[in-house]
Structure 1
């Protein structure tokens, strides 16, 4: 059983992905890419496709039927990768459609950074959901962390731009390795949370 392909299909071909994509496109068309509304919605919309997948499998009993047909490693990695990719893809696809509709050469949007940000916050939400067994944490947890980092930067530590979520979407400062530096930082943070997700699910599955 190819767990990753199954999970990715469930994530992308879902009501959550469709609702998130339509919502993001509406926000972009109304407010624009540089608006605070769009930026603050990033850690919320990317959670719609697949951050609660583990909870759904666990609570419904589907996990017991699934595990005999795949390995624990494949199951966990399938959930993790599908969550991150679908979150990043939702954000990227919404921005890509927005660029096509606007057809404005002045718009400077890096789809690579958009994808990485969506992936990161989707994985963060999945970790919070798995750790707390709560859907509220899945849909709101990453937003709380995101907002905390924004406030921390804007009110107290303006010099610490490397931990400013807005900077990860559209850099305004000079980074080492330029855009690649942002991708390396966000990718590194994502890997840390990915490891946490793996550990949490491994412990939970051992008790099933």
Structure 2
């Protein structure tokens, strides 16, 4: 299961694209911090790292990129009936759990890998160029919380793509539904409920208004709901395919 996740070429392609996207969406802020030598929000390195992985542009790209990794794979197997062959070997329940875990793990791990590598790059490149009084404990806390949020955020959007593809029986919707959902919810919250930030996916993934604990809790619950729904939908599709 784990071997299949990390042998997927799309996993590495998307991870690399995300690393570049972190830099591109946060470049103006990085340049500003380097020139000023400090930032008022937090000690330099931490502020740059936090902004690059939580700015509005990168959060909009995540639902577009993450589903590319594996969100359509399960629907493809269900379409060509390869799933029935697997079920005959390991059973329906084991197959459903295995495929859902692969989907969630692929999406979440890609986010973690891209965030971790970006963290190392930004630390090496900027540590000596801007004033920063962040201690080792603070660095570990910042990175650990961002990795957990990133994993859950990636797992959620990857799961949403897979769920959409299975429910609507169209593999291509796995790539578009997560992005459309993110965009619609964000615009809906901005236009009609400006003070209800919890309605926007942006505030689930970035502790800008709410705390880290709130963001992690919301993402965990959402990822869990999507995972359970996926297992249920796979059962339904397998039962339908046998008739």
TM-score past 0.5 threshold: yes
Partner in structure 1 of residue 221 of structure 2: 188
Matched ranges for 1:92-171 at <5 A:
92-103=112-123, 104=126, 110-171=146-207
Stretches of structure 1 that go unaligned for 5 or more consecutive residues are: none
2:71 pairs with 51, 54, 60, which one?
A: 51
Give the TM-score of the pair, scaled to structure 1: 0.87
Counterpart contact for 2:69–2:106, Cα < 8 Å: yes
Relative to structure 1, the CA distance from residue 37 to residue 86 in structure 2 (aligned partners, 3 Å threshold; closer, same or farther) is same
1:59: Cα distance to partner? 2.7
Counterpart contact for 1:51–1:83, Cα < 8 Å: yes
1:20 pairs with 9, 14, 18, which one?
A: 14
2:101 pairs with 64, 81, 103, which one?
A: 81
Question: What is the DSSP-based 3-state SS (H/G/I as helix, E as strand, rest coil) of the residue aligned with 1:149?
Answer: helix
1:154: Cα distance to partner? 2.0
Distance 1:11 1:47 in 2: 14
Question: What is the DSSP-based 3-state SS (H/G/I as helix, E as strand, rest coil) of the residue aligned with 1:159?
Answer: coil
Distance 2:190 2:58 in 1: 17
Could you say what the CA RMSD is over the residues aligned between the two structures, in angstroms? 1.9
Counterpart contact for 2:111–2:154, Cα < 8 Å: yes
Q: Deviations over 1:126-173 (max 9, x none)?
A: 100100111221011011111111112222212211232222222122
Relative to structure 1, the CA distance from residue 124 to residue 191 in structure 2 (aligned partners, 3 Å threshold; closer, same or farther) is same
Distance 2:5 2:68 in 1: 9
Structure of greater Rg: 2
1:11: Cα distance to partner? 2.9
Counterpart contact for 2:108–2:154, Cα < 8 Å: yes
Counterpart contact for 1:88–1:119, Cα < 8 Å: yes
1:73: Cα distance to partner? 1.0
Counterpart contact for 1:25–1:95, Cα < 8 Å: yes
Stretches of structure 2 that go unaligned for 5 or more consecutive residues are: 27-51, 133-138
